[in-house]
Amino acid sequence: MAVGGDPDGRGVVATANYAARRFGVRSAMSCAEARRRCPDLVFVRPDIREYRAWSERVWATVDVLVPVCEPVGLDEGYLDLGDDDPVGLARAVQLAVAERVRLSASLGVASCKVVAKIASDRDKPGGLTVVSPGGEREFLSPLAVRLLPGAGPRTTARLLEAGIATIGDLADLPPERVAALIPGRVGELLRDRARGVDPRPVMAEPAERISVSTERTFDRDVTDRGELARRGEEMAHDVASSLARRGRCARTVWVKLRYGDFSTVTRSHTMAAATDDAGLIWRQAWHLLEGALEHRPGPLRLLGVGASGLSEQHQLALF
């Protein structure tokens, strides 16, 4: 079974059960490819409300045992287990979630986020992997560099080309070679992480949102301006209601265009004052869209509308 988008259209796999994974079905794979690999695959559309409800049940259970929790998305997160008996507390969390929510949880216990996350992935489903303080390098060293959070497909390809295959290889690299391979702060960050160095604390408070957006991949590439206008205006309204729901206004409006060849263009405009008005957001977005299409015409596979530069909503005084 796979959960994801339209298997007869342009959908991708969001996740798949272990039976499907044995056929090579993976997250982010196109549904068409997944079906080729596993012809009897059953496709299910996602039900985000259901997942949210289950997620809340899990976190309500965890919060009772661990006061400082940082959810990441719906289905994972970091817990500050303290110094007293972190492994005992981890077992208690696992047990409570199994008994009260009837879900299994995979946990990793370690001295920092990056090691804990990698450890949590080592034994699924339902495992618990402990990395003792001081054992970080030894634990990370033999693992594939792709497993390091922050080393995505691009970076991993570059590293592999240079003969760096494991996290240990990256950890042992002299700084000049890291800088040549992955310039800027990203390279330093990844090498630190490869050495088990990660100063990020567990955040008890969710971060302020800094942008809202919506985008749609069309069933077929769209050239017709009228259709683009209809779809775009809907999206502008969705963005405006998302802002209003959060009590926010935005100063920057942007559009995203993806052409038939998958190349992607963005255009943004920053206004003098922030707004949550759907009509105003749409007028800005349409202007940007027309400009982009004038610069590069062609059928669009995807259109997106977004807003950033968020501030608190405020009502101007009338008197």
Residue 267: phi and psi, rounded to 5, are -135, 135
Rounded to the nearest whole angstrom, what is the least distance from the CB of residue 242 to DNA in the complex? 6
Selected catalytic residue, list 76, 188, 234, 290: 76
Q: Is 151 in the site for DNA (CB under 7 A)?
A: yes
Q: Which of 52, 100, 220, 230 binds DNA (CB under 7 A)?
A: 220
| C-alpha 200: how far from chain center | 18
Q: Is 106 in the site for DNA (CB under 7 A)?
A: no
Specify the DSSP class assigned to residue 24. Answer: T
Q: Is 184 in the site for DNA (CB under 7 A)?
A: yes
Whole-angstrom CA distances from 142 to 136, 147, 170, 186, 194 are: 11, 11, 11, 22, 11
Nearest to 308 by CA among 242, 233, 226: 242
Rounded to the nearest whole angstrom, what is the least distance from the CB of residue 25 to DNA in the complex? 13
Hey, how many other C-beta atoms are within 10 angstroms of the C-beta on 160? 14
Q: Is 124 in the site for DNA (CB under 7 A)?
A: no
Whole-angstrom CA distances from 215 to 195, 202, 223, 236, 239 are: 38, 31, 17, 10, 10
Q: Is 17 in the site for DNA (CB under 7 A)?
A: no
Q: Judged by CB under 7 A, which stretch of 4-12, 78-86, 135-143, 275-283 contacts DNA?
A: 4-12
Q: Which of 137, 251, 283, 287 binds DNA (CB under 7 A)?
A: 251
Kindly list the residues in this chain that would bind DNA in the complex (CB under 7 A): 5, 8-12, 14, 27-28, 30, 32-33, 72-76, 117, 148-156, 183-186, 207, 209-217, 219-220, 242, 251-252, 254, 261-262, 264-270, 301-302, 304, 306, 308-309
